[in-house]
Amino acid sequence: MKSIILIAGSRLLVALLTVFSVYMLLRGHNEPGGGFIGGLLAAVGFVIFAIACGTEDARKALRFRPASIAAVGLGMALFAGLMAAIWSDAFFTGQWLFINATPEDKGIPLSSVLIFDIGVYLVVLGSVLTIVFALEEEV
């Protein structure tokens, strides 16, 4: 099913959905969103792309094998948990760093929790795409 309209539209949608997914991922700590939702959004984008242009193009656009992305994500999540050990805290205790913090403002918050959420994002994205690509190529 090759449709010019779908192909042209999907390019736009992939870009928008991917950017939006990162936005959802980053804002997740304070507003609706997070790694799970972000990962699903990004996956939806690539699924649409795969339906429009075929999985071969979608794989190229993704650059890495989806299973590898998922594995890296799981590794990041584990790493985020293990980081706590450096400060002799229990496994998965969140570690925070506030850049340019003032008493009123927290500045730019960086945390092991964010790394964990990025890991979740990658696992969800990679796993869903692993399944979808395999299914589409099979059928």
Partner 1 sequence: MASTSSKTWVTPAGIIPVIIAGALFVLLLQALPAVANGDVLRYVWPWVPSLGVNISFVIDGLALMFGLLITGIGALVMLYSAKYLAGHPQQARFSLYLTSFMLAMLGVVLADNLLALFVFWELTTITSYLLIGFNHDSAKSRRSALQALLVTGTGGLALLAGIVLIGNVAGTFELSEIRAMPGVLTQSVFYLPILILVLLAAFTKSAQMPFHFWLPNAMAAPTPVSAYLHSATMVKAGIYLMARTHPSLAGTDVWLWTLTIAGAATMVFASVMALRQTDLKQALAYTTLMALGALTLLLANSSGYAITAAVVFLLMHSFYKAALFLVVGILDHQTGTRETTKLYGLGRAMPVTAFAAVLAGLSMAGLPPFLGFIAKELSYAGGVEAASSPWLVAGAFLIANALMFAIAAIVGYRPFFSKAGKKLENVTEAKWPMLAGPLVLAMLGAFFGIFPYWLQNSLIHPTVASILGSTVDAKDLHLWAGFNLPLVLSLATFALGFVLYAFSTPLRAMLIRIIDNGPNFDRGWDKLLAAVLAFAKWQTRVIQTGQLRFYIMATFITALVAMAGTMAIKQALVLPIVWTPVSLTDGMVFGLVITGTGLAIWTQSRITAIAGLGVVGIGIAMIFILYSAPDVAITQLLVETLIVVLFAVAALRLPSLGSEPLSKRWLDAAVAIGLGVTVTLIMLMVTAGPIDRSLSDFFEAASYPDAFGQNIVNVILVDFRALDTFGEVAVVLVAAIGVFALLRSKPEKDEA
How many CB atoms are closer than 10 A to CB 41? Answer: 23
Is residue 112 within 8 Å of residue 95, measured between CB atoms? yes
Residue 39 to residue 138: CA distance in whole angstroms: 24
The window from 7-15, 56-64, 115-123 that contacts partner 1 (CB under 8 A) reads: 115-123
* Among candidate residues 32, 35, 14, the one with its CA nearest the CA of residue 120: 35
The window from 8-16, 41-49, 56-64 that contacts partner 1 (CB under 8 A) reads: 41-49
Phi, psi of 99 (to 5 degrees): -90, 135
Q: Which residues of 102-139 are buried (b: 16+ CB within 10 A; e: fewer)?
A: eeeeeeeeebbbbbbbbbbbbbbbbbbbbebbeeeeee
According to the binding rule CB under 8 A, does residue 107 interact with partner 1? no
According to the binding rule CB under 8 A, does residue 54 interact with partner 1? no
The least distance separating partner 1 from the CB of residue 4, rounded to whole angstroms, comes to: 21
The least distance separating partner 1 from the CB of residue 7, rounded to whole angstroms, comes to: 17
The least distance separating partner 1 from the CB of residue 86, rounded to whole angstroms, comes to: 16
According to the binding rule CB under 8 A, does residue 26 interact with partner 1? no
Q: Write out the residues near partner 1 by the rule CB under 8 A.
A: 28-37, 40-41, 43-44, 47, 51, 66-67, 70-71, 73-74, 77-78, 80-81, 91-92, 94, 96, 106, 109, 111, 113, 116-117, 119-120, 123-124, 126-128, 130-132, 134-136, 138-139
